[in-house]
Structure 1
Amino acid sequence: MPAHRSSARAFVLSFLLLSLAGAAPGLSQPKSGAAAERKAFNAVPGPDAEYLLLSDRYTLRADGSVVHERTSRLQVNSYLAINRKYGESKVEFDPALEAFEVVTNRTVLPSGQVVEAPANAVVDDLPPAAEGNPLWSGLRRKIIVHTALEPGAVIEEAWRATDKPGALPWVDFTEAFLADVPVRERTIVVDLPAGTPFHWRMPAFRGGEPERRRAGDRELWGGTFRDLPALPDEAGAPLRAETAMLVASSCPSIQALQQELNRRVGGATDAPDTLTDLARRAAEKELTDDGRFLAVMEAVAAAVRVTPIPPALQHFRAAPAAEVWRLGVATPLELAVLQAAALRAVGFSNVSPVLAASESALLDQWPALAGLDRPLVAVGWGGAGLRLYDPVTPSAGGPLELSVSPRAIVSVFPMVPDAAPVRPTVAAGRSLTIVADVGTDRKVRGKLVFSASGFATPHSALLRDPSKLAGELAGVLPDAKAANVRVVALARDLATLEAELTATLPEPDALGLVRLAFPGVPGGVNEKLPPLPAPDRRTPLLMPIPQTESLQIELTLPAGWTLASAPATFGSAGRGPVWFSVGAEGTRVNLSRSIEVARRLVAAVPDQLAEARSTLVAWQSPVGRELLLRAPAEAAKK
């Protein structure tokens, strides 16, 4: 069953309360400020909402159709839950392959009265991701509106979605085991013909192993779990797929998974002549295989508009490449198909669209279509092994094959033996050093040296436009420009770039001070750090992928200029997650700072949260990231 059937509820009720007592003179007014304070009304103690029951049942019928039945009883306890979050349910589906019906939509009031929702409380809509894509305009989103809501009411909802025979080859689904509110009773049942291969995986949830029992010629997998805690949507939290997402499938093997993906996508990969012509024109301008490959990828990506329909909503199918190319609009999976076809047309034979699952997936042990939500393009690069590229932004970031697990991908076409996955052999890191002189006119002239390793290496960007990258790096100084850019060394996982730079310091303020801030290396760790975690945080904290980063700024000041910042040092270089040093020797001012991210997923336990918080606080401390320069009086007057 596709993984896109997740109920998102959002409902807005607008009403106006007119308080004559607060507006008309002469009526009694509270005298105390504390007494006049108004708190948000919440008629029922406890969380804003709570699932009394959340149940999913999947049935594989003899004709090959798969039925998914969802039943829930949700108690809404506050107007926040009613007006903003749980007033309606939304379910996306494909009417060409699925039949959808609402079985129950009613509200049980606190008084016990049952209010049935009217027939027009269920409407069809187009999924937002499909807007502007005529090839997938038949997709639908069912909106189930809940009525007669008040604090303490219970929404009783049930719906049934039936995949037609052949829509999916097996029972295959993902389900979020935990919700953003507490769940008193969580039930998942999978009903299969006896002897059907089946596996279920939820590594991050304790007690998540299914029960298995025989019922005549059927086997029932699953179980009931009680009093599950909420997993709220806190800032900086990982996707539920990385924490408490159940992946279940009756797919028998990774080979069967690859064959099925080939059956669904492989027939749609023939390149039309105009696509081939575009690829050849893009490739002939380049001198290297790296350049030709990226030029073709970028040319195809620039020629179509991408609509973010996930592979699951497509039932892991792609529209024919010729039709996609004619209309000029594609899903990410179809864009990967177009790019692979174009690359084959210019001589890259060992290339294929691939789908990747979450980092924790182990498709060789637990194969499943469900969870394959990230389309990529894979190419066998001779003895260098497999390379992975994002179809939408092929030149952005570092080598994906060094951060995406080879056990979490499956290709549309079999890759030849020399395309074995490559695992990281070099630790990931970035380093930027700037040494420059400051003139009396505040002009800065100097040199920058940038080094990168592992998946932090911007290999494609260095190939396609090193001057652009050098300009972004020089941007740590105000009004900076890079010139005479040289790529000194370049491998897939190791690179060095040098450039000359010029910049202009801002004018001194009224106090004669020039303020400079250096958060980190552009494009590095600083752009991916989460917010500071609260001590009572309930969800894990997602940090950047483990790596190191260092930044060193050395400025030689003109006569009369001094460092106004107090010299500061924190930690020790090479020891601990954060180190910085700010100081001066004569006219030479130095700021050095480094960070090491050792753990990507920080558990929501006090000691790990405290460690992560101290790391973030130290790295973001103004003392270690700012230079305060004092200009002489005559410079300040100018």
Structure 2
Amino acid sequence: MKFATYKSIFLLLLLLVAVGVRSLAQETPSDAIYLDQVKEYTLHPDGSWDYHYSHQLKLLTYYAINSLYGEDFIAYNPRYQKLRINRCITTMADGKKVMAPENAFNELLPSFAANAPAYNHLREMAVTHTGLERGAIEDFDYTLSSSRDFTPALTGNDILWMNSPVNKLTFIIRIPASTSLNYNQFNINGKPVITRAGSQTTYTWLISNLPAALREDFRPRELQNRPRIVFSTAKNLDKLLAGFLNQDAFTTKPDEQLNKIIEKAKTETPVEVSLMIKLQDIVVNELNFQPVPLALNGYLIRNCNQVFKSNGGSELEKTVLLAAMLENAGMKAIPVAVIPDRYFSKKSGNLLLADKFLVKATDSRGENYYLSAIQNDLQDQSFFLNGKMLVLLSGKTPVFEKADCKAPALELNAKLNLSKALELDGSMTLSLNQRLNPYLKLQQDSSFAKKLLNGTLESSKINTYSFDRLEKEQSVISYNIVNSDLVKETAEHFFLKFPALTAGIDGWHMTELVSARIEPFEIPFPVNETYHIAITLPEGYVLITEESSVSSHKDFGNLEIHISQEGRTLQVDRVIHLLTTEIQPGQYPEFKAFIDTWNNKKYREAILRVGPK
């Protein structure tokens, strides 16, 4: 009787806690809320400029206090910039105001400048907010002033979504009346209010009720669904780049010390493509990568010899170094800025839009390769640049190229024999093209071909392999396999797993998709993936799972799955084509069902047994 009473009390308490949690969730749908936020840029007639930021942020949860908003960090360059904290006050829930003490402001070396002597002058102000509790309001305001010789123009690439909702956002750009402003806005309703007073023109955006940035998986990589303002006071991109390319970093040749490294590599690796990979490996792995933002150093970079002697550099500095080394080795090489085409505009000179830098290298046959200076490439990067605009950083007149990549394809054809000892042997032919073809890696290490069957076979199960074709656009590899362990026995039933490669869709891990989306769902790239597998079964073995025939044709892709047994031959055909990268929320339920079908276990394995069905 007592047990029943205690159990009733426990259930009642559990119910009250659940109701309380639900009530709290309804009252506090986010961890914090920006009551007011201001972002303000002012360009002065002498070329100097100020950035003014302020917010009033109400904290609603302990997570907001301890993890999200307990501190603010402001990176700046003291050689050209001065930081002034105008206000740092916390209004507690009972109305008490707490001024930030002196020790709430601590100047640090930014983490990205650690182990980078050339950038040890950079600073980051860590501002610790005090008097925080649930219901408290942070009132924070600062101004960052930049000298006239810091940047060639006033530019911005501001994504306006925050981790918490914003009740009111004011975004202001002030420029001299004699200066033109080139701007583009994305996912913002209404144009700015433009006012002219005296010698100043002001652009003002008033935006209300901005939702919080979401944390869904497979978010659009270029954040194209989020509010954004891109602007520049440069006359155009050509003018901006002309000054930028005037640095000696783009014309300096390797000195004697660096030249010895290049000559040694040429002696050890006379084949041109292999030499290209060797020099890339030196830059990537023997020199430190220092992820210092280009804008924080006023778009100034060091030349190849300075970067080499300091044993490290930023992404663009290492890119310039790699280009200089390839040029010295006898190839044509040009640094390239990669900008998302959706944001690119020749009218707006804005290097903040560059999301990476590469080297465009051309061999003696006129074959082009795009190489990274901060990672070893399995394949020419040109196959990864769909939807990008390439800006060649060479000469007085910049050259623009729009990348256009075909959808990559993967095809596996297999003829296998299953023995009564449950061992699979036979042959497989794998075809990979475009970005899925690790051509550069295979040039360097042909045994990497064994790893391409990861997800299906261990390398030890591959007896021999040979290349039917090894070219940049496509590689075709034939394998002879022995003693594969794709079959497991349980209670006199045999579970045969069909080959599937992690190089394709399986590598994206779309096995547990949520039921609904708010943001668009974006996959890494369109793809064509095909498996044709014929397995000869031992005498007397039969398929006890149902034969399958599935066909699905959607706007975003096509799917075909056919599994059947004819005599002793088990035939498996699985084909999926994904035609687009971005799935809108309205299409998502259909897309989820489509992918769930592809991942369904009954279409990925067969169950066999001995005897009649």
Q: When the two structures are superposed, what TM-score results if normalisation uses the length of structure 2? A: 0.87
Shift, 1:85, TM fit? 1.4
The partner residue of 2:569 within 588, 600, 613 is: 588
Unaligned regions of 5+ residues in structure 2, if any? Answer: 1-5
Alignment of 1:480-495 (within 5 A): 480-482=460-462, 484-495=464-475
The amino acid across from 1:461 in the alignment is K
Shift, 1:352, TM fit? 1.7
Q: Which residue of 1 aligns with 2:170?
A: 187
Alignment of 1:516-595 (within 5 A): 517-518=497-498, 520-528=500-508, 534-571=514-551, 576-595=557-576
Unaligned regions of 5+ residues in structure 1, if any? Answer: 1-25, 633-638
Shift, 1:571, TM fit? 1.5
Alignment of 1:487-526 (within 5 A): 487-505=467-485, 508-515=488-495, 517-518=497-498, 520-526=500-506
Q: Which residue of 2 aligns with 1:620?
A: 599
Q: Which residue of 1 aligns with 2:443?
A: 463
Residue 86 (str. 1) matches residue 69 (str. 2) = yes
* Structure 1 Cα separation of the partners of residues 130 and 574 of structure 2: 57
For 1:428-477, what per-residue CA distance to the aligned partner results, in whole angstroms no more than 9, with x for missing partners?
Answer: 32222222223344443322222234444433234333430343226513
- Distance of aligned partners of 1:584 and 1:376 in 2 relative to their CA distance in 1, 3 Å threshold: same
Shift, 1:192, TM fit? 0.8
* Structure 1 Cα separation of the partners of residues 422 and 47 of structure 2: 74
The amino acid across from 1:55 in the alignment is V
Residue 111 (str. 1) matches residue 94 (str. 2) = yes
Shift, 1:36, TM fit? 5.9
Shift, 1:582, TM fit? 2.8
* Structure 2 Cα separation of the partners of residues 525 and 388 of structure 1: 25
Residues 303, 320 of structure 2: 8 Å contact kept: no
Residues 564, 630 of structure 1: 8 Å contact kept: yes
Q: Which residue of 2 aligns with 1:254?
A: 237
- Distance of aligned partners of 1:91 and 1:591 in 2 relative to their CA distance in 1, 3 Å threshold: farther
State the identity %.
21
- Distance of aligned partners of 1:510 and 1:528 in 2 relative to their CA distance in 1, 3 Å threshold: closer
* Structure 2 Cα separation of the partners of residues 209 and 531 of structure 1: 42
Residue 602 (str. 1) matches residue 583 (str. 2) = yes
Q: When the two structures are superposed, what TM-score results if normalisation uses the length of structure 1? A: 0.84
* Structure 2 Cα separation of the partners of residues 574 and 75 of structure 1: 45
Q: Which residue of 1 aligns with 2:390?
A: 409
* Structure 1 Cα separation of the partners of residues 396 and 267 of structure 2: 26
Shift, 1:268, TM fit? 7.7
Shift, 1:531, TM fit? 6.8
- Distance of aligned partners of 1:151 and 1:462 in 2 relative to their CA distance in 1, 3 Å threshold: same
Residues 591, 627 of structure 1: 8 Å contact kept: no
Alignment of 1:199-598 (within 5 A): 199-203=182-186, 205-207=187-189, 209-239=191-221, 241-244=223-226, 245-264=228-247, 266-267=249-250, 269-286=252-269, 288-348=271-331, 350-380=332-362, 387-396=369-378, 398-404=379-385, 408-414=389-395, 421=401, 423-424=403-404, 426-473=406-453, 475-478=455-458, 480-482=460-462, 484-505=464-485, 508-515=488-495, 517-518=497-498, 520-528=500-508, 534-571=514-551, 576-598=557-579
* Structure 1 Cα separation of the partners of residues 397 and 46 of structure 2: 36
The amino acid across from 1:317 in the alignment is L
* Structure 2 Cα separation of the partners of residues 140 and 511 of structure 1: 66
The amino acid across from 1:150 in the alignment is E
The partner residue of 2:105 within 122, 127, 150 is: 122
Shift, 1:590, TM fit? 3.1
Q: Quote the RMSD (CA, aligned, Å).
A: 3.3
* Structure 2 Cα separation of the partners of residues 277 and 441 of structure 1: 59
Residues 530, 542 of structure 1: 8 Å contact kept: no
Shift, 1:541, TM fit? 1.6
Residues 385, 403 of structure 2: 8 Å contact kept: no
Q: Which deviates further from its counterpart, 209-218 or 152-161?
A: 209-218
Per the alignment, in what secondary structure is the counterpart of residue 219 of structure 2? Answer: coil
The amino acid across from 2:395 in the alignment is P
Per the alignment, in what secondary structure is the counterpart of residue 291 of structure 1? Answer: helix
* Structure 1 Cα separation of the partners of residues 405 and 89 of structure 2: 58
* Structure 2 Cα separation of the partners of residues 140 and 206 of structure 1: 33
For 1:392-451, what per-residue CA distance to the aligned partner results, in whole angstroms no more than 9, with x for missing partners?
Answer: 23432x44324425863323313999x984754744322222222233444433222222
For 1:277-327, what per-residue CA distance to the aligned partner results, in whole angstroms no more than 9, with x for missing partners?
Answer: 333333344464333322322233232232333434444333332232223
* Structure 1 Cα separation of the partners of residues 11 and 570 of structure 2: 60
Per the alignment, in what secondary structure is the counterpart of residue 202 of structure 1? Answer: strand
Residues 363, 407 of structure 1: 8 Å contact kept: no
- Distance of aligned partners of 1:138 and 1:556 in 2 relative to their CA distance in 1, 3 Å threshold: farther
Shift, 1:86, TM fit? 1.6
* Structure 2 Cα separation of the partners of residues 494 and 574 of structure 1: 28
Residues 457, 492 of structure 1: 8 Å contact kept: yes
Shift, 1:220, TM fit? 1.2
